[in-house]
Amino acid sequence: MNNRRDFLKSSAAVAAPLLVSARCFSADAPSNRINVAFIGTGNQGMGMLKRFLAADLGNVLAVCDVNEGSYGYKEPEHFYGRNPAKEMVETDNLRRSKSGTANKCDVYSDFRQVLQREDIDAVVVVVPDHWHRTITVMALEAGKDVYCEKPLTFSVADGRQMIEATRNNNRILQTGSQERSNPVSQFICEAAKAGRIGKLTRIVTKVGYNNKVGPGPGWDAMPVPKTLDYPTWLGPAPVAPYHDDRCLYRFRFNYDYSGGQITNFGAHCNDMAHWGMGIDTGGPVEVECLDAKFLPEGSLFNTATETRFRCKYVSGVELICESGPESVQTRFEGSDGWLQTGYKGTTASNPELLVGLPNKPTGTQDPHSAHLANFIECVKTRKEPRAPVEVGHSSAVLCHIANAMIRLFPETGPGRVAKWDAANETFVGDERANEMLVRQQRDPFSGG
């Protein structure tokens, strides 16, 4: 731990009331600015980097990605990777420069080199889910504070390691659950938790359908692009032949790297469900898959294309999560009415329930930017962020246990109810379901 970091911590302890937000620190006071590296500069990473720079939240000293730069991320025209990220940072540095010269942004393909740097205080980790634990734990152990995109974990077991690394090293970890920094979501979830709609009885969450189509059975491998370090991209995942649709944005549709839309959009709406129930670090007592549809066996994409699952909580509240046309939507139903919010707007059973509802901020105050700003503020003050590691873990666990039942659905069909022990994070007396929670991973640095 370097002297600069110690100074930041001690200063925050005596001057916390003055540290209201990251924007309170003058750009003319370099000693007050946090030095950050972005690890992962693909679709989401570039978007987060752009917001970080626009809001002037700190100094971006380095960017890291296994892809030098290429087209074809979420959309064909998207050109992302480490070199485009470096160019973005240095262009922004030049724009802000009074001398007419831009500060350099270093570029890396191996995140371990980033973690060795004493001058980097924090890292923003925006990589495929199967790399989250390894990079995050190594960063925490290297003394870095971490912003890690949602879903925080790739498996239930990953979360315990991330919690221990965060707490044992006295680090800040912010989960990229940006709805926690959305004032509209804050209003709705807090209203449900406060009993504004009476006793909460049912929550319905929506996750979007798969928004990309991959190759079906019999697909052919493709040559690895020269810009991509594919063995490192695979890392802890099984060795597999390369195809464009396996990587970049589309990784989320293969269980080797993610959990489909359940862990993608579901990490937001189901996190909000727990928030509105007031059980940020709790879980259900039972879970059941009601329906699931999959592509033909042998397709490159193997996550469920459509699904519907049910959870029951000790309070009696029932949670239904289902695929639908909206990417994210959460509806709270109570004995005295309902509240609903999502990407397409906010409604209620009675307009009076929405009195005081704030507007969703835009620009440098949008939820993504506000969530990054909250992280930087907490790096300075050492306060807990809005989505700390335990909250990110709990929300991810809900998605993982749902996926366990979804993956068993073709084998068992409807009517299979599994009891869940949230305290011990295991299915009760159901070894087949517990088997589905285990994610076999290789040594991430073995290549292949």
DSSP string, 413-424: -TT-EEEEETTT
Q: Which percentage of the chain shows pLDDT scores above 90?
A: 89
Write down the pLDDT at residue 388: 98
User: Do residue 189 and residue 312 come from a single domain?
Assistant: yes
Among 156, 179, 202, identify where a domain stops: 179
User: Do residue 247 and residue 259 come from a single domain?
Assistant: yes
User: Do residue 164 and residue 192 come from a single domain?
Assistant: no
Write down the pLDDT at residue 212: 95
User: Do residue 160 and residue 240 come from a single domain?
Assistant: no
- Decide if pLDDT at 279 tops 80: yes
Write down the pLDDT at residue 31: 63
pLDDT-based confidence at 30, cuts 50/70/90? low
Confirm whether 333 is domain-assigned: yes
For the domain that residue 133 is a member of, what is the CATH number? 3.40.50.720
- Decide if pLDDT at 11 tops 60: no
Write down the pLDDT at residue 10: 37
Among 121, 145, 179, identify where a domain stops: 179
Q: pLDDT digits over 134-148, tens only? A: 999 999 999 999 999
Residue 83, token pair as written in the block: 């070199």
pLDDT-based confidence at 22, cuts 50/70/90? very low
Confirm whether 379 is domain-assigned: no
pLDDT average, residue stretch 238-254: 97
pLDDT-based confidence at 16, cuts 50/70/90? very low
pLDDT average, residue stretch 113-117: 98
pLDDT-based confidence at 5, cuts 50/70/90? very low
Write down the pLDDT at residue 259: 98
Q: Which percentage of the chain shows pLDDT scores above 70?
A: 93
Question: Which residues, 6+ apart, have CB-to-CB distance to 429 below 8 Å?
Answer: 419
pLDDT-based confidence at 25, cuts 50/70/90? very low
The number of folded domains in the chain is 2
- Decide if pLDDT at 3 tops 60: no
Q: pLDDT digits over 63-106, tens only? A: 999 999 999 999 999 999 999 999 999 999 999 988 888 899 99
Confirm whether 423 is domain-assigned: yes
pLDDT-based confidence at 360, cuts 50/70/90? confident
Among 179, 213, 234, identify where a domain stops: 179
The per-residue pLDDT of the chain, averaged, comes to 93
Residue 306, token pair as written in the block: 């459509």
Q: What is the pTM of this model?
A: 0.92
Write down the pLDDT at residue 285: 98
Confirm whether 174 is domain-assigned: yes
Confirm whether 442 is domain-assigned: no
User: Do residue 191 and residue 139 come from a single domain?
Assistant: no
For the domain that residue 320 is a member of, what is the CATH number? 3.30.360.10
Confirm whether 366 is domain-assigned: no
User: Do residue 120 and residue 238 come from a single domain?
Assistant: no
Confirm whether 382 is domain-assigned: no
Write down the pLDDT at residue 29: 53
User: Do residue 245 and residue 352 come from a single domain?
Assistant: yes
User: Do residue 69 and residue 197 come from a single domain?
Assistant: no
Confirm whether 380 is domain-assigned: no
- Decide if pLDDT at 292 tops 50: yes
H-state helical runs in 194-282:
230-234, 260-264, 266-277
Q: Which of 221, 29, 154, 156 is nearest to 426 (CA)?
A: 156
**Using an 8 Å Cβ cutoff, are 124 and 84 in contact?**
no
pLDDT average, residue stretch 22-31: 45
C-alpha 151/C-alpha 92 separation (Å) is 29
- Tell me the residue range of the domain where 344 lies: 181-357+388-435
User: Do residue 352 and residue 427 come from a single domain?
Assistant: yes
Write down the pLDDT at residue 326: 87
Write down the pLDDT at residue 12: 37
User: Do residue 398 and residue 267 come from a single domain?
Assistant: yes
User: Do residue 36 and residue 121 come from a single domain?
Assistant: yes
User: Do residue 128 and residue 38 come from a single domain?
Assistant: yes
Q: pLDDT digits over 187-230, tens only? A: 999 999 999 999 999 999 999 999 999 999 999 999 999 999 99
